[in-house]
Structure formats: C-alpha cells, structure tokens
Amino acid sequence: MPELSGEMMKGTVVRNTGSNYMVRLDSGMEIPCRVKGNLRIKGIRTTNPVAVGDIVTVAKAADDADFIVAVEPRRNYIIRRASNLSKESHILASNLDCAALVISLRDPATPTTFIDRFLATAEAYAIPAVIIINKADIYDADDMELAEAMKYLYESIGYGVTVVSALTGEGIGPLRDFLRDKTTLFAGNSGTGKSSLINAIVPGAGLKTGRISDIHHTGTHTTTFSEMVSLPGGGEIIDIPGVRGFGTIDFKPEEVSHYFPEIFKAASGCRYSDCKHTGEPGCAVIPAIERHDIAQSRYASYLSILEELQDSDKYRKPF
C-alpha cells in the first residue's frame, strides 16, 4: 500500500467497475480511485465495501494515485444476496430516494416472484419503490390488459406503476418529471430495456444496449458495471447490471410478512402474533387470500422467500 499524503478530498462514488471506482469530487471533477486495502464498513459483511452513491473521503498517495480511505455513514442502502452462493451480500447502491424496478411483460417476461422479492427488499431497507413496465410498443391487446391488471394490483398495495416505451417515448416525459431531484436506483432483469430507457430519459447518456436472444427470449448483459447518470434537470439515476435472480438476505422468517404490506395489514387479525400464515389456526391471511384481498401471486412469492430461508437454515445446522 503506497504511503498516503495529508491531502484529503470529499466526493461521491459515481461508477464501480469492480476493483476501481470513479469519484466525483465536490468541485465537479471526476477522478479514478482504488480502495484502501483495509477499508471495511463496520457491521456490514459485503462483497463490495464501497458502492455507487457513497459519500467518500479520497487521499492521494505518494505515487499520485488516489485511494478511497473512508465512507461516510449511509443514509440508506439496498442489497441482494451475492452471486457467488455465499452468505455474503452485495450492495447495489446507497443514499437512495427511490428504487425503480424496470420490467417487461415479454421478450423477456419478468417473473412476479422477482418483482415481489425486489419490492420486499426495498421495504426491508425502507426505500420507496416503483415499477416501470417498459416496452409498451411491442405489446398486443392481451399484453396491455395484463399491464393494466399489474398496475391495478401493485397500485392497490401502494406502489407507483407506470407503463412506458423507450422506443416511442410513451410515458417518458412524466417519468422524467418524477425522477427529477431524486437519486433513483434502476434495477431489472437483463433484456427489459433498462439501458435504452435511461438513454431515452437522459439524452446523450450513451449507455450500451443489447439484443434479445431469439431462442431464449432473454437479454444480454450490456451494463457490466454500476454507474450514476445525472438528469439534465437535477437528480441522478444509478444504473446497475441486469440480474437474473434476486436473492434476499438477512430476512428473519417471522419478519417476511412485514415486507408485504397487504399481508402485514391482514396479519393484524391473526389469533397468534407469531403466525406464519401457512395454515395455523386463527390465521387471518388465508381468508384474505380467499376473498382476493391478497393476490395469489403475492402469497406465492411470500411462501418462496419463507422456503428459501428454511432451506438456508437447514444447511446452517450442524450434523
């Protein structure tokens, strides 16, 4: 580790390419940085000690290289299970005002389980979430009926939902107005048109876009690193690489229902406070599902997280 000089500078991490970071200093200048070898954030075990959105202190080394030596306390952050099958998490972004999930109804279709896991994670980290249904230009009447049904479902729970087309510009103006003066995470499956959408919102962003596989109807990974894109009228979008699955982490089985607002609301009528809503006597959630007050798809997503946690707990137990 090179010896650091006394010169310290403050800035915001605007790009993460793995081991290297781009930091926008308070002066507006952007400089490439590395992370000081022993930098770890207390109490958070993650694969990346620094994330896009972090406010950091940068110090210059004797060889004139710049190093991130400290991360200021985060206002918030959102994480997912790391892709290396470990119990570690990966910080997607920090200091957020909103988390936006970009989905598509076909080519490729975004599974409702993926949507609900993302929303549950946003709830767990107290970050307001919205859903952006992209690719309206390729949808037929049946697709638009499904889009309206999804819009009705998630808006009834309390999430904002908008239908847009990055190709035709449908809905882009109102979406741009909503994003103004906010720092918003853009997440989504590969192929949902996330990069094309950001290019439509921010003229000149120039993010790479990819084609959809004709065989598997899945997207190619065009975003290979996390990056902050500034909106012309104020605000930031944090674009992250597309993900195929969304693994939750640090959830306790008894708390999962707290991250599904409509299940949590119905659960107040359960006979037992520790009810898991899987057939216990006096459960108020199951009747709510039967009355269609809770969507079957949402309950299925809830059960999938419980099952994942139980499997994880099984493998943690000693022989």
What CATH number does residue 187 fall under? 3.40.50.300
Which structural domain, as residue segments, surrounds residue 268? 253-316
Same domain, 103 and 224: yes
Question: Within a domain: residue 60?
Answer: yes
- Residue that finishes a domain, picked among 209, 239, 269: 239
pLDDT of residue 86: 54
Structural domains in the chain (count): 3
Check whether residue 117 and residue 213 sit in a common domain: yes
229 plus 104 within the same structural domain = yes
Contact predicate 197/169, CB 8 Å = no
Q: Is the residue at 156 inside a domain?
A: yes
- The amino acid present at 242, given as its one-letter code, is G
pLDDT of residue 218: 38
Using DSSP's 3-state secondary structure scheme, residue 19 falls into: coil
The DSSP code for 72 is P
Q: Over the stretch 295-319, which tens digit does the pLDDT of each residue have?
A: 999 999 999 999 988 766 543 443 3
Interval 241-300: pLDDT, tens = 887 666 666 788 889 999 999 999 999 999 999 999 999 999 999 999 999 999 999 999
Separation of alpha carbons 105 and 119, rounded Å: 17
Q: Are residues 53 and 109 in the same domain?
A: no
Among the ranges given (46-55, 107-116, 232-241), the one the predictor scored with the smallest mean pLDDT: 46-55
Indicate the SS3 state at residue 259.
helix
pLDDT of 215 above 70: no
Which of 186, 205, 239 terminates a domain? The answer is 239
Which of 203, 229, 198 lies closest to 134 in space, CA to CA? 198
Mark whether 169 and 196 lie in a shared domain.
yes
What is the domain-level CATH number for residue 299? Answer: 1.10.40.50
In 3-state terms, what secondary structure has residue 20? strand
Q: Pick from 56, 71, 86: which residue ends a domain?
A: 71
Say if residue 188 is in the same domain as residue 119. Answer: yes
Whose CA is closest to 183, among 74, 87, 303?
A: 74
| CA 31 to chain centroid | 26
- The verdict on 260 and 293 lying in the same domain is yes
Query: Does 62 lie in the same domain as 144?
Result: no
Do 168 and 230 fall within a single domain? yes
Confidence label for 7 from pLDDT (cuts 50, 70 and 90): confident
213 and 109 share a domain?
Answer: yes
pLDDT, tens digit, 9 for 90 and up, residues 28-82: 999 999 987 666 555 556 777 899 999 999 998 877 789 999 999 999 999 887 6
Question: Does 47 share its domain with 159?
Answer: no
Residues 21 and 139 in one domain: no
